[in-house]
Structure 1
Amino acid sequence: MEKSDWQYENMPDFLQDRSLGNARIEQFTIFEHDFRAIYRDGLKPGKKYVRLMIDGEIFMSDAPMEKESNYNVIDDAFGDILLAGLGIGLILLPMQKKEEVKSITVVEKNPNVIDIVGGQLPLNDKVEIIHADIFDYEPIRRYDCIYLDIWPDICKDNAGDMSNLIDKYSNFLTDKPDSWCKAWQEDYVMGNMYIREGEGAFDYS
């Protein structure tokens, strides 16, 4: 199977259309005339996808870019993990299946997302979801892996917050030589790599 698909679940199998407050989960399908979605973003006509909408804007989906940009994160995950942002659970489901992973603490600030997403996912006993804002949250333990995935798109405007969070949470890593603290697409946001204007949670409406 393709690199970006082998470890991921088919999210429409788990997430049905639901709305609560400012959050909505909805399935969607790409058609032959959706040229931007097909040729730029790699979506397949006729295939069902899932997106999380917050205040009417796409916050996350299971588009190929989302999968590809998180491949190494899931591959490197081990031990006790702190995950900022529940999203649609795209990376959470494969992480919880890894034998190397002992626990996953998910910090999600939107209680509506916890309800409509967390309430539908087949989570195992490794996973704990905490309702809190990652900017204010104070861990009571250390973690082997910390992943900050709270931004809907790849934008240099996020660089300051991203840098501050990485600095803060790096202090909560274990002393294992392979422990790590990363943010989603930090190399692009911090200006070390080239990114196309506006790339991120694309509008497939």
Structure 2
Amino acid sequence: MTVTPNEIETMRDAVDKATGNVLTYGLGLGYYAYMVSEKDNVDNVTVVELNPNVIDLFKRYILPQFAHGDKISIIQADAFQYAKENMATGNYDIVFTDLWHDVSDGMDMYVKMKSFEKNCPNAQFLYWIEQSIQCYL
């Protein structure tokens, strides 16, 4: 979990494209959730995060600092289980996945998450460092 210039730059496109009902897999320090919650054309942001310690840290210390924190809801769940069982019921416009640290640990998760896109056919799916991952596939 970092917010570095590289993280900021590599999320720029996913932030720019966010609109309506946004779902994101992976909370980290909440940079993506914060940036999209600031947009007028984003109605709500649902974050799926597995780690209860990350959720607690975020809710206790970070979320209260967000001007539009009321747009953000957090679901403690495994991302792949949620994608399989619940994603279709959310009527999401954008689904952004940021579960990996880099290309080396992201390829398998990327491929697995791509298989769930059919569950939410009206959503646009975006993936952190997708172009880099695709270079190795």
TM-score bracket for this pair, using the shorter chain length? 0.7 to 0.9
Residue 74 of structure 1 is matched in structure 2 by 15
Q: Which structure has more strand as a fraction of its residues?
A: 1
Unpaired segments of 5 or more residues in structure 2? Answer: none
**Paired amino acid for 2:111:** S
Could you say what secondary structure the match of 1:94 adopts?
helix
Alignment of 1:114-153 (within 5 A): 114-120=55-61, 121-122=63-64, 123=66, 124-137=69-82, 138-139=85-86, 140-153=89-102
Tell me how far apart the structure 2 counterparts of residues 173 and 100 of structure 1 sit (CA, whole Å).
Answer: 21
Q: Does 1:92 align with 2:33?
A: yes
Percent identity between the two aligned chains: 34
TM-score, with structure 1 as normaliser: 0.58
Question: Aligned partners of 1:169 and 1:65: how far apart in 2?
Answer: 27
Structure 1: stretches of 5+ with no match in the other structure: 1-59, 194-205
After superposing on structure 2, the runs of 4+ consecutive aligned residues of structure 1 that deviate more than 6 Å are none
How many corresponding residue pairs? 129
The answer to whether structure 1 residue 189 and structure 2 residue 130 are counterparts is no
> Does structure 2 retain, via aligned residues, the 8 Å contact 1:103–1:126?
yes
Q: Distance in 2 between matches of 1:168 and 1:145?
A: 14
**Of the two structures, which has the highest relative contact order with CA contacts closer than 8 Å and spacing of 6 or more?**
2
Q: Is the 8 A contact 1:83 1:107 kept in 2?
A: yes
Say yes or no: does 1:162 pair with 2:110. Answer: yes
Query: Shift in Å at residue 173 of structure 1?
Result: 4.0
Q: Supply the AA of the counterpart residue of 1:187.
A: Q
More helix per residue: 1 or 2?
A: 2
Judge conservation of contact 2:80–2:113 (CA < 8 Å) in 1. Answer: yes
